[in-house]
Chain A
Amino acid sequence: MTQVAEKTDDEVDRPQLPPASLGYRLIRGTGLTLVWLGVLTLGFVAHQLWITTFFAKQNQADLAVELEEHFAVAEITEIPYVPVVPPGEDPPEVDPSIVQGAAGSPGLLRAESAPEDGVAFAEIRIPKLESLADGWAVVEGVSLSDLKNGAGHMPWTPLPGQPGNSVISGHRTTYGQPFHDLDLLEVGDHIEVETALGVHIYSVKEVHVVKPTDVWVTHPRSGAWLTLTTCNPKWSARERLIVAAELIAGPNAEVILGRV
């Protein structure tokens, strides 16, 4: 009886195919390249639309807890009200009895210590906008990593509720897109910012588009202002949409408005 050795996969006789022509190889290579480019593009779209938002919402849940803790332990002091003088303007005439009032007098502002970078210290709510009706945590700082988590407060501007121009930036189309519908705001709409001091209510006064290098939108202003900045148009970082709102109510509003 003759034994026939079984052939391994490598030893199996396969029909010899004729060598592929150059044209065939070019078409095949181009097709595969296009398929991979399509897969990478779809992956990019999915990443920007859903993955960044998924992580941003996870971070927002964590920041909501952090915010409650911050509100509980924030150190609140009273400081004399010193009106902000915008560049190029003369200082306003100020009633000294109000500016230098005794503790508890209308001349004192409530203030909290500056939050550390990356820490959630406020929540912004815009009742008119669905994406911000329930609030979005604001962290200190506007680095890319800060803005992945929430809206970011520019550290070199005053905190919300303080005199001057407080600036908050946020993503428009990615990372939870908190400022997605900022263009729907109109003059007179309200923006609320809750800090450890309480809820500061601003009324929209200006909505406009500027270049990304127009830093004048962050310059100090007399009174108390909140400036929101985001990318414009949607899905492009070519311009900035700016919403400027003036403080109308809140823990410090009476003192500040009384002097403007």
Chain B
Amino acid sequence: MLPGSTGVKIVTSIVLISMALIALHFFYEWVGNTFLDSGGTVG
């Protein structure tokens, strides 16, 4: 599916997976802070 040699495919996969995990981390943070535990501040 990915273009290039095996080495390029591995590097591309690592970059894509890292980007997906970082995006997921921020998405999870937003959901958690919005719905589960905002930190308890008032106002």
- Looking at the complex, which one of A52, A213, A214, A237 makes contact with B38 (CB distance below 8 Å)? A237
B24 x A43 contact (CB < 8 A)? yes
- Looking at the complex, which one of A40, A43, A172 makes contact with B37 (CB distance below 8 Å)? A172
- A230 CA to B32 CA in the complex, in Å? 14
A170 x B33 contact (CB < 8 A)? no
Check if B42 is an interface residue, CB within 8 A of chain A. yes
Q: How many residues of B contact A (CB 8 A)?
A: 17
Check if A235 is an interface residue, CB within 8 A of chain B. yes
Among residues 13 to 40 in chain B, which have CB atoms less than 8 Å away from a CB atom of chain A?
24-25, 28-29, 31-40
A171 x B28 contact (CB < 8 A)? no
- A173 CA to B33 CA in the complex, in Å? 11
Judged by DSSP, the binding face of A is mixed
A218 x B42 contact (CB < 8 A)? yes
Residues of A within 8 A of B37 (CB): 48, 171-175, 231, 235, 237
Check if A64 is an interface residue, CB within 8 A of chain B. no
- A241 CA to B39 CA in the complex, in Å? 11
Q: Which residues of A contact B (CB under 8 A)?
A: 40, 43-44, 47-48, 51-52, 142, 144, 147, 152, 154, 169-175, 179, 210, 212-215, 217-218, 229-231, 235-237, 240-241
- Across the A-B interface, give the 3 residue pairs with the lowest CB-CB distance, nearest first: A230-B40, A147-B39, A237-B38
- Other A-B contacts than A172-B40, A213-B42, A217-B42, 18 sampled, CB-CB below 8 A, are A43-B24, A43-B28, A44-B28, A47-B25, A48-B36, A48-B37, A51-B25, A52-B29, A142-B39, A147-B39, A169-B42, A210-B42, A212-B41, A231-B40, A235-B36, A235-B37, A240-B40, A241-B40
